[in-house]
A = this chain, B = another copy of it.
Amino acid sequence: MRNVSIIGIGQTRVAEHWERSLRHLAGDAVLAAMKDAGIETADALYVGNMLSGLLTGQEHLGALVADFVGLRGIEAVKIEAACGSGAAALRLGYAAVAGGLHDYVIVCGVEKMTDTVNAETTTGLMMAADADYESVHGLSFVSINALLMRRYMYQYGVEHKDFAPFTVNAHRNAAGNANAMFQNPVTAEQFAHARMIAEPINLLDSSGIGDGAAAVVLCPTQIAREYRRGGLVHIKASSMATDAVAVHDRRDPLWLSAVEASTAKAYQQARVGPRDIDFFEVHDAFTIMSALSLEASGFAERGKGVWLGQNGDIVREGRIPICTMGGLKARGHPVGATGVYQVVEIVQQLRGEAGPNQIGNARLGMAQNIGGSGATVITHILEAQD
């Protein structure tokens, strides 16, 4: 298979874009990525999205967005894997280029979660869980994560305040990201006293939902240099793994086996281990997901993920910086777009274009996008190309 590079990136700010429809948001990101890459057409467009049908009455986003950006006629399709839709689209775009089906593939993640008319966003998000065995009991997506967090605290003797560093770090980093939804710093004190959502998860444990789109342009590494002199990024690994959708069906609710499997495959493909990763865009939909992801990805022992925050390991200057542009928590979590945002932000870091958030010696970045509470996990390892 061929090596694949990212030659262009684009993104909108994550916000309540009441003046922009779904297609406008996607269009903004795709056209920015095409401009950044210096291409005027492409072979295919893969759109990651979860909620457009329920919330805006629009499916068929592939053809819709392709036409809107002036690419009428090309192969175009929507990919869905709950909140992992964005990275799932990237995974299939990567496969198409690596396998030789296409030379130029645009991957766009887009979500319109506010100003919706057809259904409530909370209802929409619950479609990531098991409709027959979880949603039917009145669980919300926050409450599923609350059950996990409560169990974690009980089993490992952790207190709620111990999760504060994840939120403080995310907001600190978002303050330096003009595309982030919440650019305000947050203190551990504010975290401790935030409004309760589903005990023990409070408002500041939770990522912010918003509207947004992000896009990347892929092509074979061999011809990537024709498009960019510097700033080339190589996809060193791409992997996906799954688990039971319903939490009660898993062997151990506190061990994200799909994270473990997806990360292991990615490490193997890239021939690296967790120690080689310079920074990690974690799927921090809730603080508990950060802790669990860090453990199953090999950055902390079981039950110790939360202490990476307390030890200062996760900040930009730390051992394994996470959420360097604000993460889902503070950049915002437009669910089907998030996986592409993560990768766009890694490219910013690897290019040295992360502004005030630039981390030192950024050579190898890992993005991990999760669908549901750990049922679909897509991991990408990206490397700065010389």
Mark out the residues of chain A between 158 and 203 whose CB falls within 8 Å of any chain B CB in the assembled complex: none
Asked if A245 lies at the interface with its beta carbon under 8 angstroms from chain B, I say yes
- Checking B66, B131, B258, B376 against A57 with a beta-carbon cut-off of 8 angstroms, the contacting residue is B131
CB distance from A340 to the nearest CB of B (A): 15
A81 to B76, CA, bound (A): 8
The residue in A81, A126, A372 that gathers the most chain B C-beta atoms within 10 A of its C-beta is: A81
A123 to B130, CA, bound (A): 23
Contact residues in B for A128 (Cβ distance below 8 Å): 59-60
CB distance from A222 to the nearest CB of B (A): 15
A99 to B99, CA, bound (A): 3
A75 to B100, CA, bound (A): 20
- Checking B58, B64, B75, B258 against A73 with a beta-carbon cut-off of 8 angstroms, the contacting residue is B258
CB distance from A342 to the nearest CB of B (A): 17
Contact residues in B for A60 (Cβ distance below 8 Å): 80-82, 127-129, 245, 371-372, 375-376
Closest chain B residue to A132, Cβ basis: B21
A385 to B377, CA, bound (A): 37
Closest chain B residue to A81, Cβ basis: B77
- Would A67 and B242 count as touching, CB distance under 8 A? yes
State which size class the interface on A falls in.
35 or more
Number of copies: 2
- Would B127 and A67 count as touching, CB distance under 8 A? no
A257 to B372, CA, bound (A): 38
- Would A241 and B73 count as touching, CB distance under 8 A? yes
- Checking B21, B57, B58, B101 against A95 with a beta-carbon cut-off of 8 angstroms, the contacting residue is B101
Asked if A114 lies at the interface with its beta carbon under 8 angstroms from chain B, I say no
Asked if A364 lies at the interface with its beta carbon under 8 angstroms from chain B, I say no
- Would A135 and B371 count as touching, CB distance under 8 A? no
- Would B78 and A242 count as touching, CB distance under 8 A? no
Asked if A365 lies at the interface with its beta carbon under 8 angstroms from chain B, I say no
Closest chain B residue to A375, Cβ basis: B63
Stretch from A29-37, A48-56, A223-231, A346-354 forming part of the interface with B: A48-56
- Would A62 and B135 count as touching, CB distance under 8 A? no
Asked if A282 lies at the interface with its beta carbon under 8 angstroms from chain B, I say no
- Would B88 and A77 count as touching, CB distance under 8 A? yes
CB distance from A276 to the nearest CB of B (A): 24
- Checking B76, B99, B245 against A67 with a beta-carbon cut-off of 8 angstroms, the contacting residue is B245
- Would A242 and B72 count as touching, CB distance under 8 A? yes
- Would B57 and A81 count as touching, CB distance under 8 A? no
A57 to B375, CA, bound (A): 17
Contact residues in B for A132 (Cβ distance below 8 Å): 21, 23, 58
The residue in A76, A99, A258, A375 that gathers the most chain B C-beta atoms within 10 A of its C-beta is: A99
A80 to B47, CA, bound (A): 10
Contact residues in B for A371 (Cβ distance below 8 Å): 60, 63
Contact residues in B for A99 (Cβ distance below 8 Å): 1, 95-96, 98-101
Q: Mark A77-97, 1 if CB is under 8 A from B, else 0.
A: 111111000001001100110
Closest chain B residue to A47, Cβ basis: B80
Closest chain B residue to A130, Cβ basis: B64
Q: Given contact pairs A57-B131, A76-B81, enumerate 9 new A-B contacts (beta carbons under 8 Å).
A: A1-B101, A60-B372, A73-B241, A73-B261, A74-B241, A75-B239, A76-B242, A78-B81, A95-B101
Residues of A within 8 A of B (CB): 1, 21, 23, 44, 50-51, 53-54, 56-64, 66-67, 72-82, 88, 91-92, 95-96, 98-101, 123-124, 126-132, 135, 239-245, 249, 257-258, 261, 371-372, 375-376
What are 6 A-to-B residue pairs whose CB atoms are below 8 Å?
A59-B127, A60-B127, A63-B242, A73-B241, A77-B91, A78-B79
